[in-house]
């Protein structure tokens, strides 16, 4: 039996299936259910493991589960109660589903309702806040109420507002049993979720959590991802931008140049399509971790495949960072004319297999943040295109100093 680490959404679903929160649903892939699991290479069954390799359950061909253990670690793990545990501890309370930080008005509405349990629905994609921040904000809210407790429920979004609303209603009802449920309809799994309330309508303790979790673009971790053909000028542009960031200071900056990464992070990989994609995903993972901690990562691989670039974007955004894609769109003819390393000549002679632009495709980005052609332009002039786009997006406000 193969081992398989599910996606974050599938891991959330697994926990809720095993805990009974999805009852009467007990398995993956039931007809009409959004709770699905995709196994690799068409496998019919597998041992499901967490990202650290801990076996959590076995899944059979029919989607049924044999639990092995539960997740051992993670922030606020102590608050992940099963519905049975939650009802035993909080019988008779009013149950309040929460998918956003509670405002002063929300808290006023809950005061005088007796004992309440705030169900933080902190699964993947459900809240505008990160899962940890949602629980922190919910705990802060419970401290401001007379008699309140918090329970963490990893209810994820499945990308279908109607199905998610129905599933959320079912899960909250399972936790509440026969006790009353107090919904916050404006921000509870709404298909037209209201615009985020202004920070000043939050209590101070909650506002501080929201501000930390949702920094302004100028403070947000940022991945500057330059992609283009060999010889397009992407590495030179990336280095020029890196130098400017270091000269002006104020941000922690890391360079993840394609050739440098190949020597240190991806030594041993070939230039096959599979290994090139692995190299880009490694760059993406490191860049996402830099962004997670508020830093700026400047990446300049060729990254020829749209699917892999999108995977990097998803990693960065899941880490709370911003992904800024720069397509250095210098035409192949100009790149080949430059050919400082003689690579195109070798590729034309058949000495380098699967060479991007010659014997392997380059998939141009459909929606880069900025597109730059360096043909006949100085690096300073081309860099200005990037600086203007960064300024307009609000991420960086840099001034190039000539001489």
Domains identified in the chain and CATH numbers: 2-67 (3.10.400.10), 77-213 (3.40.50.620), 222-393 (3.40.50.300)
* Per-residue pLDDT, 113: 87
Q: Any binding-site annotation on 234?
A: yes
Q: Any binding-site annotation on 92?
A: no
Strand residues in 139-266 grouped as ranges (E): 148-153, 222-227, 253-257
CB 175 within 8 Å of CB 21: yes
d(CA 146, CA 164): 31
Residues, the chain: 403
End-to-end CA distance of the chain, in Å?
Answer: 64
Q: Any binding-site annotation on 232?
A: yes
Q: Any binding-site annotation on 235?
A: yes
pLDDT in tens, the chain (403 residues): 899 999 999 999 999 999 999 999 999 999 999 999 999 987 899 999 998 899 999 999 999 999 999 887 889 999 999 999 999 999 999 999 999 999 998 899 999 889 999 999 999 999 989 999 999 999 999 999 999 999 999 999 998 888 998 899 999 999 999 999 987 544 444 433 344 455 458 999 999 999 999 899 999 999 999 999 999 999 999 999 999 999 999 899 999 986 778 888 888 888 788 888 999 999 999 999 999 999 999 999 999 999 999 999 999 998 999 999 999 999 999 999 998 889 999 999 999 988 999 999 999 999 999 999 999 999 999 999 999 999 999 999 987 666 5
Q: Any binding-site annotation on 231?
A: yes
CB 121 within 8 Å of CB 79: no
- A 10 A CB-CB count for 400 gives 14
Q: Which helix (H) or strand (E) holds 66?
A: strand 65-67
Q: Any binding-site annotation on 320?
A: no
Nearest to 379 by CA among 363, 352, 402, 354: 402
DSSP per-residue codes, 104-132: HHHHHHHTTS-SEEEEEE-STTTSSS-HH
Q: Any binding-site annotation on 346?
A: no
CB 355 within 8 Å of CB 343: yes
Q: Any binding-site annotation on 228?
A: yes
Predicted model pTM? 0.83
Name the phi and psi angles at 46, rounded to 5: -165, 160
CB 15 within 8 Å of CB 71: yes
């Amino acid at each position: 039996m193969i081992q398989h680490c599910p996606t974050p959404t599938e891991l959330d679903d697994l926990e809720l299936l095993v805990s009974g929160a999805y009852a009467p649903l007990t398995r993956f892939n039931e007809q009409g259910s959004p709770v699905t699991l995709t196994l690799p290479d068409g496998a019919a069954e597998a041992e499901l493991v967490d990202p650290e390799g801990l076996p959590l359950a076995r899944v059979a061909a029919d989607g049924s589960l044999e639990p092995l253990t539960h997740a051992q670690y993670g922030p606020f793990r102590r608050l992940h109660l099963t519905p049975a545990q939650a009802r035993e501890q909080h019988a008779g309370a009013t149950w309040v589903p929460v998918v956003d930080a509670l405002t002063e008005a929300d808290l006023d509405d809950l005061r005088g309702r007796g004992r309440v349990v705030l169900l933080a629905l902190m699964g993947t994609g459900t809240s505008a806040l990160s899962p940890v921040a949602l629980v922190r904000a919910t705990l802060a809210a419970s401290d401001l109420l007379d008699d309140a407790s918090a329970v963490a429920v990893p209810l994820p979004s499945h990308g279908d507002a109607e199905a998610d609303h129905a599933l959320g209603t079912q899960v909250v009802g399972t936790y509440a049993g026969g006790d009353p449920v107090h919904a916050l309809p404006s921000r509870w799994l709404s298909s037209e979720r209201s615009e985020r309330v202004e920070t000043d309508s939050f209590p101070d303790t909650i506002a501080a959590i929201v501000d930390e979790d949702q920094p302004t673009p100028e403070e947000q971790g940022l991945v500057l991802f330059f992609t283009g053909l060999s010889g397009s000028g992407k590495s030179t542009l990336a280095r020029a931008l890196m130098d400017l960031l270091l000269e002006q200071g104020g941000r922690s900056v890391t360079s993840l140049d394609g050739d440098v990464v190949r020597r240190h992070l991806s030594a041993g990989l070939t230039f096959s399509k599979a290994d090139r994609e692995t190299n880009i995903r490694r760059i993406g993972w490191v860049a996402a971790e830099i962004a997670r901690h508020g830093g700026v990562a400047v990446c300049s691989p060729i990254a020829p495949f749209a699917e892999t670039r999108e995977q990097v974007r998803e990693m960065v955004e899941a880490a709370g960072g911003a992904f800024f894609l720069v397509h250095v769109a210098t035409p192949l003819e100009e790149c080949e004319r430059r050919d400082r390393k003689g690579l195109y000549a070798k590729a034309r002679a058949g000495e380098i297999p699967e060479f991007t632009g010659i014997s392997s495709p380059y998939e141009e980005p459909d929606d880069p943040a900025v597109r730059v052609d360096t043909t006949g332009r100085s690096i300073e002039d081309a860099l200005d295109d990037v600086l203007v786009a960064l300024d307009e997006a609000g991420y960086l406000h840099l001034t190039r100093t000539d001489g």
